[in-house]
A and B are shown apart, each in its own frame.
Chain A
Amino acid sequence: MATLDDFGPVEKPYKPPVVAPGHTPATVTDKISAVVLERTPKWWYAAFGVSFFLLMILMMAVTKLFLEGVGIWGINQPSGWGFDIINFVWWIGIGHAGTLISAILLLLRQEWRTSINRFAEAMTLFAVACAGMYPVLHTGRPWLAYWLLPYPNTMGLWPQFRSPLVWDVFAVSTYATVSLLFWYVGLVPDLATLRDRAKSKLAKIAYGVPAMGWRGSAHHWHNYEVAYLLLAGLSTPLVLSVHTVVSFDFAIGIIPGWHATIFPPYFVAGAIYAGFAMVLTLALPLRAVFGLQDFITQRHLQNMAKVMLATGLIVVYGYAMEFFFAWYSGNHYEAFMAVNRVLGPYKWHWLGLIICNAVVPQLLWIRKFRSSTFWLFFVSMFINVGMWLERFIIIPVSLSRDFLPSSWGMYSGTIWDWATFIGTMGLFLSLLFLFVRLLPMISVFEMRTLVPDAQKASSKEVAP
Chain B
Amino acid sequence: MDSDHGVKGKCGAEASRRPEAGALLDLEMLRQKRSPELWRSLEDLAETPEFEDMLHREFPRHASEWPEGVSRRGFLQLASASLALAGLTGCTKQPIEKIVPYVKKPEEIIPGRPLFYATALTHEGYATGVLAESHMGRPTKLEGNPDHPASLGATDIFTQAAVLTLYDPARSQAVTQAGRPSTWEAFVAVLNAALSAQEALGGAGIRLLTGMVASPTLAAQILEARTRFPNLKWHRWDAAGRHQGRAAAQSAFGRPVEVRYDLAKADVVLSIESDALTQGPGSVRYQRDLAAKRRVRAGQPQEMSRLYCVESLATNTSTIADHRLQIPPAEVEGFVLALAQTLQVVPGAPSVPAATGAWLQAVAGDLQAAAGRSLVVAGEVLSPAAQVLVHGINQHLGNLGTTVLVTEPVEAEPVDQVASLRELVEDLKAGRVEILLTLGVNPVYTAPADLDFTAALGKAHLRIHHGLYEDETSGHCHWHVPAAHELESWSDARAFDGTVSLIQPLIEPLFDGHSAHELLALVAKSPVTAGYDVVRAHWQKQLSGDFEAQWREALLAGLLPGTGLAPAALPVDAAAVQQAAGTLAAAKPAGDGVTLCFRPDPTIWDGSLASNVWLQELPKPISKLTWDNAVIVAPATAVKLGLGQQERIELEAGGRKLAAAVWIMPGVAADTAILHLGYGRTRSGERSDGRGFNAYALRTSQALWTVSGAAIRKAGGDLYPFACTQNHHALRASDTSEPLEASREAMGPRKILRTGSVIEYRKDPTFLQDKHHKEGEAPSMYPPHEYKGHAWGMAIDLGACTGCSSCVVACQAENNIPVVGPEQVRRGREMHWLRIDRYYAGEVDNPTLHNQPVPCMQCENAPCEVVCPVAATTHSDEGLNDMSYNRCVGTRYCANNCPYKVRRFNFFRFSERESPLYRMLYNPDVTVRMRGVMEKCTYCVQRIEQAKIDAKVEEHAITPDRLKTACQQACPTQAIAFGDLNDEQWDVTRWKSDPLNYSLLEELNTRPRTTYLAKLRNPNEALGDLATGGKEEHGHS
Listed in ascending order, the chain A residues whose CB lies under 8 Å from chain B are: 68-71, 74-81, 138-142, 144-145, 147-148, 157-160, 162-166, 169, 249, 252-255, 332-333, 336, 345, 399, 402-410
Contact = CB atoms under 8 A, between A and B. Distances in A.
A139 B887 CA distance: 12
24 contacts: A69-B906, A70-B907, A76-B907, A78-B895, A78-B896, A79-B828, A80-B892, A80-B893, A80-B895, A139-B932, A147-B887, A148-B869, A158-B871, A162-B867, A163-B867, A254-B1004, A255-B897, A332-B749, A345-B730, A403-B1001, A404-B1000, A405-B752, A405-B839, A406-B727
Given A80-B893, A140-B933, A406-B839, A71 B867 contact: no
Contact of A70 (B867, B890, B899): B890
Given A80-B892, A139-B889, A141-B890, A406 B897 contact: no
Sort chain B's interface into a size bin: 35 or more
B736 interface: no
B896 A80 contact: yes
Nearest to B835: A406
Interface in B880-910: 887-893, 895-897, 899-901, 903-909
Contacts of A71: 824, 829, 907-908
Nearest to B908: A71
Interface stretch (B30-38, B273-281, B509-517, B739-747): B739-747
A363 B137 CA distance: 77
A407 B606 CA distance: 30
B752 A404 contact: yes
Interface in B731-775: 738, 741-743, 745-746, 749-750, 752
Given A69-B909, A406-B742, A253 B828 contact: no
Interface in B932-951: 932-934
Nearest to B624: A406
B908 A404 contact: no
B851 to A, nearest CB: 10
B869 A159 contact: yes
B866 A410 contact: no
A232 B39 CA distance: 62
B891 A138 contact: yes
Contact of A78 (B839, B901, B909, B934): B901
A159 B827 contact: no
A395 to B, nearest CB: 9
Given A70-B932, A142-B932, 20 more contacts: A68-B908, A69-B907, A71-B907, A76-B827, A77-B828, A77-B903, A144-B889, A147-B889, A148-B869, A159-B869, A160-B869, A163-B867, A163-B869, A252-B866, A253-B867, A345-B729, A405-B746, A406-B835, A406-B839, A410-B828
Contacts of B838: 406
Nearest to A165: B869
A159 B726 CA distance: 35
Contacts of A69: 906-909, 931-932
B867 A404 contact: no
A22 B829 CA distance: 66
Contact of B888 (A141, A345, A405, A409): A141
A142 B904 CA distance: 18
B900 A403 contact: yes
A408 B738 contact: yes
Which 3 interchain pairs have the tightest Cβ spacing?
A: A140-B890, A140-B932, A71-B907
B854 A148 contact: no
Interface in B375-417: none
Nearest to A396: B896
A268 to B, nearest CB: 22
B749 A409 contact: no
A402 B745 CA distance: 11
Contact of A160 (B727, B827, B868, B901): B868
Would you call the interface of chain B mostly helix, strand, loop, or mixed?
A: loop
B666 to A, nearest CB: 15
Contacts of A405: 727, 741-743, 745-746, 750, 752, 839
A406 B746 contact: yes
Would you call the interface of chain A mostly helix, strand, loop, or mixed?
A: loop
B726 A332 contact: no
B897 to A, nearest CB: 5
A69 B829 CA distance: 13
A79 B905 CA distance: 11
B870 A160 contact: yes
A331 to B, nearest CB: 9
Interface of B: 726-727, 729-730, 738, 741-743, 745-746, 749-750, 752, 824, 827-830, 835, 837-839, 852, 854, 863, 866-871, 887-893, 895-897, 899-901, 903-909, 930-934, 1000-1001, 1004
A76 B829 contact: yes
A332 B750 contact: yes
A142 B889 CA distance: 7
A157 B726 CA distance: 39
A160 B870 CA distance: 5
A308 to B, nearest CB: 31
B934 A140 contact: yes
A403 B727 contact: no
A94 B726 CA distance: 38
Given A140-B888, A164-B867, A345-B729, A404 B931 contact: no
Contacts of A332: 749-750
From B729, B838, B866, B897, residue with most partner A Cβ within 10 Å: B897
A179 B321 CA distance: 66
Contacts of B738: 408
B904 A402 contact: no
Contacts of A166: 869
A80 B902 CA distance: 12
Contacts of B824: 71
A300 to B, nearest CB: 40
Given A80-B896, A147-B870, A160-B871, A402 B907 contact: no
A364 to B, nearest CB: 36
A431 B574 CA distance: 93
A1 to B, nearest CB: 61
A47 to B, nearest CB: 36
A75 B891 contact: no
Nearest to B753: A406
A116 B256 CA distance: 95
B891 A165 contact: yes
Nearest to A256: B899
Contacts of A403: 750, 752, 899-901, 1001, 1004
A189 B1037 CA distance: 74
B594 to A, nearest CB: 30
A147 B868 CA distance: 11
A147 B870 CA distance: 7
Nearest to B873: A160
B1013 to A, nearest CB: 18
A70 B908 CA distance: 7
A166 B750 CA distance: 33
A252 B893 CA distance: 11
A249 B904 CA distance: 20
From A71, A253, A336, residue with most partner B Cβ within 10 Å: A71
A408 B742 contact: yes
Given A139-B890, A406-B854, A76 B870 contact: no
Nearest to A405: B742
A159 to B, nearest CB: 6
B901 A404 contact: yes
Contacts of A162: 866-867
A408 B725 CA distance: 10
A82 to B, nearest CB: 10
Contacts of B909: 68-69
B726 A402 contact: no
A254 B897 contact: yes
Contacts of A406: 726-727, 742, 746, 835, 837-839, 852, 854
A169 to B, nearest CB: 8
A140 B892 contact: yes
B883 to A, nearest CB: 13
A230 B1001 CA distance: 50
